[in-house]
């Protein structure tokens, strides 16, 4: 339960600190005193969206703190322990939030910093606010299936989770199949890549090959000239003809002559050695040139082959990157992509089987949900009608329409009969009088009727939800008289399962409170300030008089207020809450 709340510099609140108790806590006070502001502060502590203009004028930040007693709430404790915020033996949860006028808010759980999403997750575990916006939610057809699912109970919600997992798996598979179906494009890509790889592999290029082939082509183009020049060089160096002297012969004579000179002058020995080496080198060069000439290819057909190869390689370079290295790299990438596309094709064949299997699984789970919803709808109608009768809607009727569609085995995402919640559409129906047909709730109920229908639904769901804390803000809109007293009694009965807070202007509802707080507004320093005070018996009578419209202190009004409190006390003693742990003995009024 919510045991402590502190709010500073928020809207009209400069500083408020209050302790709460189990049972029914009623907040009353003049319009504009700040009752809803305090409820809003609780919402901010549990993750509601905050805005800088919420900070009190003149302050730099708003500060919120709250403590919850979670002893006796094992499910809440287990969830918070799993989240890492509680340990064995802990029975108190403390939440904090600081909202600066500039910058981001800071949130804490038991003194540890956390994101605001953590506060929201904790809020889902411990508290729910029912206000005028809840009326709007009840009017939205899309919300009705959620109400019915919650009513159907924990086992049904587990089946819903099972279905959700199956449905999300199906959607993921269908999305993957859709992406793969870029299949037509992938097929065209594979065909193009296959052609390109075949073209490159048919040419079998080798890195650096073009330079070698260009040199070979140049030799072939000039082979006749090269042969003639080589023959001339060879003849000059070592001609066999007796009619002319070759370089070899001339060098031989020169070597012989310089040898005789060196025999007479030792200083010429080095020159003689060099000339001898030159003679040997000339003979060696002549041999090399001869072999080169003999090896020259002068076949015109060979030149055609080389020119054709060179042209083919240059065309590959033009298409695939400008160099043979780039061509080879492109071939490797294209081959890898072809393997990848082949794997996608294989995955496409496998995914068809998985889609069919997942579709059948989701459809089977949806059928189970539909069957359970039809059963729960009949029971919900009965329970809400019972509560409505107690809220003086005896002649009215309530219905739950479950429109089930046959689940398709293989729906497309967002189409077909399967959706995030199954294959059903649920809508609440209402009739204000017995002789009228049931019609959609959103189009038939008046404001006062809506308040009571909403409360009836919430009472029925409250027993299933088992949230520790329920807050009802302005639940008395559109009702009064005996109906208001009945609403107060119903709120009191809810404390069998919850700590309940109610903001009200009606004395008939306030009379059922275990603890009544007056929210008031004072003025000082040129500005208004909101305060809150727990009322004792006499203060409570005075507040009831104010709520009755007479704060003059007349005895008759005070007696009337005491009579309302006594009648409420009598009804409380005979109510179904009797003996619950949160019941509080307030003593006689």
CATH number at residue 544: 3.40.50.300
Tell me the residue range of the domain where 231 lies: 188-335
Give residue 127's pLDDT.
Answer: 86
Report the SS3 class of residue 368. Answer: helix
Give residue 589's pLDDT.
Answer: 39
Give the count of alpha carbons within 13 A of 17, CB side only: 1
Give residue 445's pLDDT.
Answer: 56
Structure tokens at 328: 């080879």
Q: Could you tell me if 119 and 192 lie in one domain?
A: no
Does 85 reside within a domain? yes
Strands 127-130 and 469-473: parallel
Give residue 581's pLDDT.
Answer: 38
Q: Do 10 and 37 contact (CB within 8 A), yes or no?
A: yes
Q: Could you tell me if 111 and 204 lie in one domain?
A: no
Other C-beta atoms within 10 Å of 374: how many?
Answer: 14
Cα 399 from chain centroid (whole Å): 36
Q: Do 286 and 237 contact (CB within 8 A), yes or no?
A: yes
| Residue where one domain finishes, among candidates 335, 367, 383 | 335
Q: Could you tell me if 202 and 121 lie in one domain?
A: no
Q: Could you tell me if 198 and 331 lie in one domain?
A: yes
* Whole-number Å distance between alpha carbons of 489 and 386: 14
Residue with tokens 């408020």: 16
Burial classification of residue 494, based on how many CB atoms lie within 10 Å of its CB (0-12 exposed, 13-18 middle, 19 or more buried) = buried
Q: Could you tell me if 98 and 195 lie in one domain?
A: no
Does 181 reside within a domain? no
**For residue range 120-136, what is the model confidence (pLDDT) as tens digits?**
888 888 888 776 555 56
| Residue where one domain finishes, among candidates 335, 367, 399 | 335
Q: Could you tell me if 121 and 16 lie in one domain?
A: yes
Does 539 reside within a domain? yes
| Residue where one domain finishes, among candidates 335, 369, 391 | 335
* Whole-number Å distance between alpha carbons of 472 and 25: 10
Total structural domains within the chain: 2
Does 242 reside within a domain? yes
User: What are φ and ψ of residue 23, in 5° steps?
Assistant: 95, -150
Q: Could you tell me if 196 and 327 lie in one domain?
A: yes
Q: Could you tell me if 114 and 201 lie in one domain?
A: no
Q: Could you tell me if 235 and 326 lie in one domain?
A: yes
Does 561 reside within a domain? yes
Residues (pLDDT < 50) of the chain are 243, 409-411, 413-415, 578-589
Q: What is the DSSP string of 127-175?
A: EEEE-HHHHHHHH-HHHHHHHHHHHH-HHHHHHHHHHHHHHHHHHHHHH
Return the closest-CA partner of residue 403 out of 377, 385, 379, 382: 377
The dihedral through the CA atoms of 476, 481, 483, 488 has a sign that is positive
Does 319 reside within a domain? yes
Q: Could you tell me if 78 and 199 lie in one domain?
A: no
User: To which H or E segment does residue 523 belong?
Assistant: strand 515-524
CB neighbour list of residue 263: distance below 8 Å, 6 or more residues apart: none
CA-CA-CA-CA dihedral for 252, 256, 257, 259, to nearest 10? 130
Does 490 reside within a domain? yes
Give residue 239's pLDDT.
Answer: 67
Residue with tokens 């609140």: 13
Strands 24-28 and 499-503: parallel
Give residue 252's pLDDT.
Answer: 81
Burial classification of residue 220, based on how many CB atoms lie within 10 Å of its CB (0-12 exposed, 13-18 middle, 19 or more buried) = buried
* Whole-number Å distance between alpha carbons of 284 and 269: 23
Give residue 415's pLDDT.
Answer: 40
Q: Could you tell me if 48 and 120 lie in one domain?
A: yes
Does 430 reside within a domain? no
Give residue 582's pLDDT.
Answer: 39
Q: Could you tell me if 99 and 234 lie in one domain?
A: no
Structure tokens at 95: 């939440």
């Amino acid at each position: 339960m919510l045991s402590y709340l502190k709010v500073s510099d928020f809207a009209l609140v400069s500083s408020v600190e209050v302790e709460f108790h189990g049972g029914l806590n009623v907040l009353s006070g003049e319009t504009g005193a700040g009752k809803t502001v305090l409820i809003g502060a609780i919402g901010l502590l549990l993750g509601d969206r905050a805005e800088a203009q919420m900070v009190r004028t003149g302050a730099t930040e708003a500060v919120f703190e709250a403590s919850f007693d979670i002893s006796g709430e094992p499910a809440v404790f287990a969830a918070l322990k799993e989240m890492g915020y509680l340990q064995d033996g802990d029975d108190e949860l403390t939440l904090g939030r600081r909202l600066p006028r500039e910058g981001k808010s800071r949130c804490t759980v038991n003194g540890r910093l956390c994101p605001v999403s953590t506060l929201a997750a904790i809020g889902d575990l411990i508290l729910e606010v029912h206000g005028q916006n809840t009326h709007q939610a009840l009017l939205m057809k899309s919300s009705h299936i959620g109400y019915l699912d919650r009513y159907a109970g924990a086992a049904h919600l587990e089946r819903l989770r099972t279905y959700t997992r199956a449905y999300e798996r199906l959607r993921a598979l269908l999305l993957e199949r859709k992406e793969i179906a870029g299949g037509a494009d992938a097929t065209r890509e594979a065909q193009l890549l296959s052609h390109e790889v075949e073209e490159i592999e048919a040419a079998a290029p080798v890195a650096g090959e073009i330079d070698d082939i260009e040199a070979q082509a140049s030799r072939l183009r000039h082979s006749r000239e090269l042969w003639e020049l080589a023959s001339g060089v060879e003849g000059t160096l070592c001609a066999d003809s007796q009619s002319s002297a070759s370089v070899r012969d001339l060098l031989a004579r020169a070597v012989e002559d310089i040898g005789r000179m060196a025999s007479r002058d030792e200083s010429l020995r080095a020159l003689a050695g060099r000339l001898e080496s030159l003679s040997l080198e000339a003979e060696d060069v002549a041999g090399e040139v001869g072999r080169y000439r003999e090896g020259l290819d002068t076949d015109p057909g060979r030149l055609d082959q080389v020119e054709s190869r060179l042209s083919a390689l240059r065309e590959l370079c033009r298409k695939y990157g400008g160099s043979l290295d780039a061509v080879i790299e492109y071939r490797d990438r294209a081959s890898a992509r072809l393997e990848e596309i082949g794997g996608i094709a294989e995955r496409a064949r496998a995914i068809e089987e998985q889609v069919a299997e997942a579709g059948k699984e989701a459809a089977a789970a949806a059928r189970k949900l539909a069957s359970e919803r039809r059963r729960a709808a009949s029971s919900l109608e009965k329970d809400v009608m019972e509560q409505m009768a107690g809220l003086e809607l005896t002649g009215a009727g309530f219905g739950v329409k479950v429109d089930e569609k046959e689940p398709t085995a293989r729906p497309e995402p967002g189409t077909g009969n399967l959706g995030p919640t199954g294959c059903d559409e649920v809508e609440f129906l209402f009739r204000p009088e017995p002789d009228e047909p049931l019609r959609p709730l959103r189009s038939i109920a008046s404001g006062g009727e809506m308040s009571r229908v909403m409360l009836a639904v919430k009472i029925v769901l409250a027993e299933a939800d088992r949230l520790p804390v329920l807050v009802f803000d302005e639940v008395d809109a559109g009702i009064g008289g005996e109906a208001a007293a009945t609403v107060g009694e119903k709120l009191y009965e809810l404390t069998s399962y919850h700590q309940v807070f109610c903001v009200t202007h009606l004395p008939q509802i306030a009379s059922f409170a275990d603890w009544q707080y007056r929210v008031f507004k004072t003025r000082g320093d040129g500005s208004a300030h909101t305060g809150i005070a727990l009322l004792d018996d006499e203060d409570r009578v005075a507040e009831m008089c104010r709520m009755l419209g007479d704060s003059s202190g007349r005895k008759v009004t005070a007696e009337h207020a005491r009579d309302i409190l006594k009648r409420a006390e009598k009804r409380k003693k005979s109510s179904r809450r009797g003996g619950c742990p949160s019941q509080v003995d307030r003593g006689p009024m």
